[in-house]
């Protein structure tokens, strides 16, 4: 069957790879812009809600020395002033910025910043109260589908449809990095067929080729974690693309559209020349 391929919307997930540094965040965002990404994304958490009490006072080794897990998370969390600074920076270089909230209070915080999109992280797709609050905003929302069952996806879709909130389901396997044999890219057409909605791909594999295959299977929205250096501190770094990888990804996706043609059988001018050499009948 002939497929019509459109240019995918490419999102660079900065996440917490900035390690609390505004300058590092800008450096990573600038790499995404230079690579022609369409958008970049951050994360926001209310730490009093998101961190279980049993974890808050555990001591953790960090690049800044030993500290409690709560203090470590505080160190890498951006405040409103920093978010506004990054929003202005992204506006100046002409790249879209948005953010995924990990709790309702963070969702309220982000509403003040008036980003164009919302994002439901895989960790929150089974939190139905949270989904209700996101859907009520009626912003176009990317919904990651890692760590959940098809029934969970159905419940999420039902909520967004109830509130007439536009959404994109992002196929995702939440392993960092994800082994290629676990990517299950055939879920992309499965999601499109079952829910008759826009579908994207949020990849956590270190390589590039699965993203291309995801696009050919119908993922018109692509999200990849990005960093300036995979050896930086942080759990997401090893599953992230560096600058050269970002550029290569966009180049591959841009070229790939030309491979498919229009599906009509023709004889090229060069083929006609070759045919004259071979045809003796």
pTM here is 0.94
Confidence of residue 7 (pLDDT cuts 50, 70, 90): confident
Q: 3-state DSSP call for residue 124?
A: helix
Alpha-carbon span 230 to 249, nearest angstrom:
16
87, two tokens: 């929003």
Domain residue limits, the chain: 9-278
Q: How many helices (H) and strands (E) does the chain have?
A: 12, 10
Q: What is the pLDDT of residues 150-176, one digit of tens each?
A: 999 999 999 999 999 999 999 999 998
Of 160, 211, 210, 201, give the one whose Cα is nearest residue 181. Answer: 210
Q: What is the pLDDT of residues 70-117, one digit of tens each?
A: 999 999 999 999 999 999 999 999 999 999 999 999 999 999 999 999
Which overall architecture, per CATH, does domain 9-278 show? Alpha-Beta Barrel (3.20)
Among the residue ranges 94-98, 222-226, 249-253, the one predicted with the least confidence is 249-253
Alpha-carbon span 174 to 276, nearest angstrom:
56
pLDDT of residue 168: 99
């Amino acid at each position: 069957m002939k497929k019509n391929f459109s240019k995918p919307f490419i999102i660079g997930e900065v996440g917490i790879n900035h390690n609390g540094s505004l300058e590092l965040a800008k450096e990573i965002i600038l790499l995404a812009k230079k690579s022609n990404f369409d958008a970049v994304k951050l994360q926001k958490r209310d730490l009093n809600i998101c961190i279980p009490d049993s974890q808050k006072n555990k001591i953790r080794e960090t690049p800044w020395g030993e500290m409690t897990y709560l203090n470590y998370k505080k160190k890498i969390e951006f405040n409103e002033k920093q978010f506004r600074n990054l929003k202005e920076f992204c506006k100046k270089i002409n790249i879209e910025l948005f953010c995924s909230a990990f709790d309702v209070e963070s969702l309220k915080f982000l509403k003040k910043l008036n980003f164009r999109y919302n994002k439901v992280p895989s960790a929150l797709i089974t939190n139905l109260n949270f989904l209700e609050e996101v859907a009520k905003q009626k912003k176009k929302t990317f919904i990651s589908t890692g760590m959940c069952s098809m029934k969970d996806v159905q419940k999420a879709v039902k909520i967004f449809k109830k509130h007439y909130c536009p959404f994109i389901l992002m196929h995702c396997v939440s392993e960092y990095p994800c082994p290629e044999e676990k990517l299950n890219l055939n879920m992309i057409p499965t999601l499109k067929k079952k829910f008759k909605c826009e579908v994207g791909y949020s990849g956590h594999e270190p390589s590039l080729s699965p993203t291309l295959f995801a696009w050919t299977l119908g993922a018109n929205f692509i999200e990849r974690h990005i960093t300036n250096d995979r050896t930086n501190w942080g759990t997401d770094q090893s599953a992230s693309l560096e600058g050269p990888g970002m550029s290569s990804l966009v180049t591959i996706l841009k070229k790939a559209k030309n491979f498919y043609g229009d599906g009509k059988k023709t004889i090229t001018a060069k083929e006609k020349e070759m045919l004259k050499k071979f045809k003796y009948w």
